[in-house]
């Protein structure tokens, strides 16, 4: 199986968690894409859900599939969100998210959700969060250099993310920049999430601590479900 087939397998399995009548949060990224695809297919078969997307990209895909969309004005609580991740820590299910640039809306949607199910292929599972992946931190554009300097006090090496077409900084759906922050070693992720969050100029970080209830993982051996142990 190639990597897309693994992502599709995890995504389709996760959609089995969706029940008729739910308010559903739709994640962002190449794995969440397959979730939206499968939700769209089930909607055409009569599944009744109303969805809140985590990005303009996901909203456009959902509209194209005639998936009904709503907003927090009508539905401030979400029953279930299914989203991807860049790293999942074995056991704790702590996450790094945001390489796709949607971390702010993803965290708002996750925080409003009764349940957060993550879909990944096995390459995303790590023993220790942050050893391989930088933590994306969304910051306001004004004074981003000062915000970056402040983040170095917590051990970060921040790099301003560039747009894929080059030459200009990447700008999020909410009009902010992203600093990809490498850390030499993360010993207390919950504390680090708070420290980053309290830094002036920071909007939100891609650390998702204690939020995921289950992770659906696809590997060559099949699709498995990991639950949080604490």
Chain positions contacting ligand 5RP, by CB under 6 A: 27-32, 83-86, 97-103, 106
* Closest CB to ligand 5RP among residues 124, 149: 124
CA distance 34 to 191: 33
The nearer residue to ligand 5RP, 79 or 138, going by C-beta atoms, is: 138
For the bound state, the minimum distance from the C-beta of residue 21 to ligand 5RP, rounded and expressed in Å, comes to 26
Closer Cβ to ligand 5RP, 60 or 153, answer by number = 60
Closer residue to ligand 5RP (CB): 153 or 177: 177
Stated length of the chain: 230
* Catalytic site residue from 106, 138, 193, 204: 106
User: In angstroms, what is the minimal distance from the CB of 46 to ligand 5RP?
Assistant: 28
What own/partner pairs with CB < 8 Å and gap ≥ 24 does 219-226 have? 219/6, 219/121, 219/122, 220/1, 220/6, 223/9, 223/10, 223/13, 225/13, 226/88, 226/90, 226/93, 226/125
Closest CA to 18 of 109, 79, 107: 79
Extended beta strands in 76-169, E state: 78-83, 87-89, 95-96, 113-121, 125-126, 135-139, 156-160
The minimum distance between CB 142 and ligand 5RP, in angstroms, equals 23
- Catalytic annotation present for 122: no
* Contacts (Cβ under 8 Å, ≥6 apart) of 68: 43, 49, 50, 51
Nearest distance, CB of residue 48 and ligand 5RP, angstroms: 26
Among all residues, which ones are annotated catalytic?
106
């Amino acid at each position: 199986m190639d990597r897309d087939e693994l992502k599709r397998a995890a995504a389709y399995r996760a959609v089995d968690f969706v029940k008729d009548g739910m308010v559903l949060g739709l994640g962002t990224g190449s794995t969440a894409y397959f979730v939206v695809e499968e939700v769209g297919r089930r909607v055409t078969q009569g599944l009744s859900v109303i969805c809140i997307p985590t990005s303009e990209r996901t909203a456009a895909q959902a509209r194209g599939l005639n998936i009904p969309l709503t907003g927090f004005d009508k539905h401030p609580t979400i029953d279930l969100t299914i989203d991807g991740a860049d790293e999942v820590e074995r056991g704790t299910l702590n996450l790094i998210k945001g390489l796709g640039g949607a971390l702010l809306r993803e965290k708002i949607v996750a925080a409003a959700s009764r349940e957060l199910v993550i879909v990944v292929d096995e390459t995303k599972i790590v023993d220790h969060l942050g050893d391989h992946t930088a933590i994306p931190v969304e910051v306001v554009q004004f004074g981003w250099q000062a915000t970056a300097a402040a983040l170095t006090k917590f051990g970060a090496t921040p790099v301003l993310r560039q747009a894929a077409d080059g030459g200009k900084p990447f700008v999020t759906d909410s009009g902010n920049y992203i600093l990809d922050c490498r850390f030499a070693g993360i010993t207390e992720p919950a504390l680090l999430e708070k420290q980053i969050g309290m830094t002036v100029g920071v909007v939100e970080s891609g650390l998702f601590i204690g939020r995921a209830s289950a992770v659906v993982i696809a590997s060559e051996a099949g699709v498995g479900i990991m639950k949080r142990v604490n």
